[in-house]
Each structure stands twice: as structure tokens, then as C-alpha cells.
């Protein structure tokens, strides 16, 4: 991991103007510097990028009653214009902190989302509504300096993985001067992809086909709450969305329960957490099963203790789920010093 460049994060308490009841709050904001690895010896290079910082809160408050199915009623008036570009996140709901779902519709003070709310969420649960990160909000007008083109054959790619289907969608940046309708991000069919959502807890893959590393800065608010992310059998591109590096030990991926974390074992035959460094040589780690090994914690392929290995804020991880069942990972909340 030492091949990654250091990231810069400026924390500036910025009054948001929103409130829980009559209590105003502040949110730290800043930027993170990412590096994209250039092609090596003519072969594309891969970099998992994490949109760790988030969009400003559109609404924050409490529920007036327990959610019913996919609907929750807010304690105040919801802003207009909420749509599928936004999501609802539970922030003070006990074990369900970090649960989120995309907005479907809003009627008065009631918002309906894509999934049923968890059982046990009561009246008075605190929740927020935020805008999703998108390819454009994260990468700007090609802030990473990826090689543009009019198709995926010649342009660098940004890939988004759907872990439930194991399908990958690819996007590229194109310029009007080269024949695109306007400068912007496009999908493989040439359709506008600027507003393609990057859901919380996930990373995207930059595929660099040209030599030379590039760097860029992403900006936004620090996410100070837990984040839940679904894990499916196969490949998962994940991000803890923690603006300060988090170790494997502190990541909450090794819970001893396959419904909330990785399967434990004695070697890499079980679930793997993989990092893709600039060298492109994947580094893989597994969680030890104490009953079989007599030790706890994370280990590499050589059996070396790896609890201190860091998930760095600018980058994502690849989790290879070999256990034939899904899980929900609850990534930890960042702690902001007073």
C-alpha cells in the first residue's frame, strides 16, 4: 500500500443551516486527493476509486411514527424536488444506523423509498436525506484526466459493478470537439451518463489504457455516520466512506457472522479482501477462524498478521465473496476530534 500517494483532507466546520428541531449543527468539509495508475507495458491498469466524501444534507430530522413498509414520515416539511437522485439514511436507529435506500417519491412529509425499512425502527428515529454521489459529482468534467474518446474502444473507462448480478457497466468521457453532443460522461450506448448514481458504500473502477499516472481531488462533506453496504457472492467493490484511513481490524468486516461480515477460515479459500496497488499485484487478506487456527484477526497469504493494513480514504477494496450467501456490512463512522 505504500505505493499510493498520501491524500489531503481539510476539515473546516461549515454551518449547514439545517437543524434537528432547534439545534443547529456543523459538518466538516474538505477534499481528498486520488491517484489513477497509468497503463503498464501496454496493458490497462486498474484503480478502485472511492467517492468517500458526500453531498450536502438536503433534510435532517426525526420520524413522527414507525416506518410502514417503504414509507417514513418526517417531523417537518420535506424539500421539493426529491427524486431517485436522493437517498434516505437512518442515522440514529440503533442497530439499523447506516441503513439507506433510494427515494422513489415524496408526498407531503412522507417519503417512499426502494426497500422496506428494517423492523424495529421506532418513532423518533433520526434520518437524513442526501443526494447520491454520481459520476459527474465525483469525477467532475473529467477531473482525473482520463483519456477521452467516442467509445470504449479508445477511451479510458470508469466501471460500475452491480454485485447482485455481477454485471459491469462502463462509462467514458467524450468531447464535443471530437464529435460528442457535448463534453461529458457517456455510457457504452453513447447516452448521457453524468447522473449515473454511485451508491453509498461502493467504489468505482478506473481503467487507464494510456501510460502515465494522473491525480485529481474530490470534494464534499465528511460522512460522520455508519454506512451499510450489501455484499453478494462474487466480486464486490466497496468503500467504508471513512475520510480517515480505517484498518482491517477496525473495518467491522470480521464480525464472526457471515450475514454481517466475511467468512472466516484458515487461508484464502474463504472470503478475501483485496487491494489493487499501483504495481497491479493484488494483495489479498482473510479473517482467521479461531476454532481452526487458534488465532483471531486478519492475515495475508503468507500467514502474516495484517490487522493494521489500512483501507485508505481515496481508494476502494475488492471483496471476493466465496460463501454462498449475501451479507450486509456496516462500515464504521468516522470520529471527528473536538
Say which CATH class 57-131 falls into. Answer: mainly beta
3-state secondary structure of 186: strand
The boundaries of every CATH 2.40.30 domain in the chain are 57-131
What pLDDT, on the 0 to 100 scale, is given for residue 26?
58
pLDDT at 335: 73
Residue with grid cell 453478494, as numbered in its chain: 232
Determine the pLDDT at residue 337: 59
Tally of CA atoms within 13 A in the half-sphere of 21 that contains its CB: 7
3-state SS of the chain: helix, strand, coil percent to 5?
Answer: 5, 45, 55
Q: How many residues does the chain have?
A: 338
Question: What are the 10-residue block averages of pLDDT along the chain, 338 residues in total?
Answer: 32 35 56 98 97 97 97 94 97 94 96 97 96 98 98 96 98 97 97 98 98 97 96 98 96 98 98 98 98 97 97 98 97 77
- The answer to whether the CB of 312 falls within 8 A of the CB of 49 is no
CB burial of residue 13 (10 Å; 0-12, 13-18, 19+): exposed
C-alpha cell at 160: 460500475
Give me the pLDDT at residue 336, please: 67
- The DSSP bridge partners found for residue 89 are 100, 128
pTM equals 0.91
CA-based torsion, 306, 308, 314, 316: positive or negative:
positive
Distance CA 267, CA 36 (A): 30
Amino acid at each position: 500500500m505504500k505505493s499510493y500517494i498520501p491524500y489531503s483532507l481539510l476539515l473546516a466546520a461549515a454551518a449547514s443551516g439545517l437543524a434537528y428541531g432547534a439545534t443547529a449543527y456543523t459538518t466538516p468539509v474538505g477534499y481528498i486527493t486520488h491517484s489513477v495508475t497509468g497503463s503498464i507495458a501496454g496493458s490497462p491498469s486498474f484503480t478502485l476509486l472511492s467517492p468517500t466524501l458526500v453531498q450536502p444534507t438536503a433534510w435532517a430530522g426525526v420520524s413522527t411514527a414507525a416506518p410502514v413498509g417503504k414509507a417514513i414520515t418526517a417531523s417537518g416539511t420535506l424539500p421539493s424536488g426529491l427524486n431517485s437522485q436522493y437517498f434516505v439514511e437512518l442515522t440514529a436507529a440503533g442497530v439499523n444506523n447506516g441503513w439507506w435506500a433510494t427515494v422513489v417519491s415524496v408526498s407531503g412529509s412522507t417519503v417512499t423509498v426502494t426497500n422496506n425499512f428494517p423492523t424495529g425502527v421506532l418513532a423518533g428515529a433520526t434520518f437524513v436525506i442526501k443526494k447520491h454521489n454520481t459520476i459527474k459529482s465525483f469525477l467532475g468534467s473529467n477531473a482525473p484526466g482520463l483519456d477521452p474518446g467516442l467509445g470504449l474502444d479508445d477511451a479510458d473507462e470508469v466501471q460500475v459493478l452491480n454485485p447482485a448480478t455481477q454485471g459491469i457497466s462502463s462509462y467514458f468521457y467524450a468531447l464535443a470537439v471530437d464529435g460528442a453532443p457535448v463534453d461529458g460522461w457517456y455510457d457504452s450506448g453513447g447516452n448521457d451518463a453524468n447522473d449515473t448514481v454511485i451508491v453509498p458504500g461502493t467504489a468505482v473502477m478506473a481503467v487507464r489504457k494510456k501510460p502515465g499516472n494522473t491525480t485529481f481531488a474530490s470534494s464534499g462533506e465528511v460522512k460522520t455516520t455508519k454506512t451499510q453496504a450489501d455484499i453478494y457472492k462474487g466480486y464486490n467493490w466497496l468503500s467504508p466512506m471513512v475520510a480517515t484511513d480505517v484498518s482491517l481490524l477496525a473495518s467491522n468486516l470480521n464480525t464472526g457472522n457471515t450475514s454481517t461480515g466475511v467468512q472466516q477460515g484458515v487461508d484464502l479459500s474463504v472470503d478475501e479482501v483485496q487491494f489493487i496497488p499501483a504495481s497491479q499485484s493484488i494483495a489479498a487478506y482473510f479473517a482467521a477462524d479461531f476454532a481452526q487456527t487458534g488465532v483471531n484477526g486478519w492475515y495475508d497469504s503468507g500467514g502474516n498478521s495484517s490487522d493494521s493494513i489500512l483501507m485508505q480514504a481515496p481508494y476502494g477494496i475488492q471483496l471476493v465473496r466465496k460463501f454462498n450467501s449475501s451479507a450486509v456490512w456496516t462500515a464504521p463512522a468516522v470520529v471527528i476530534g473536538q
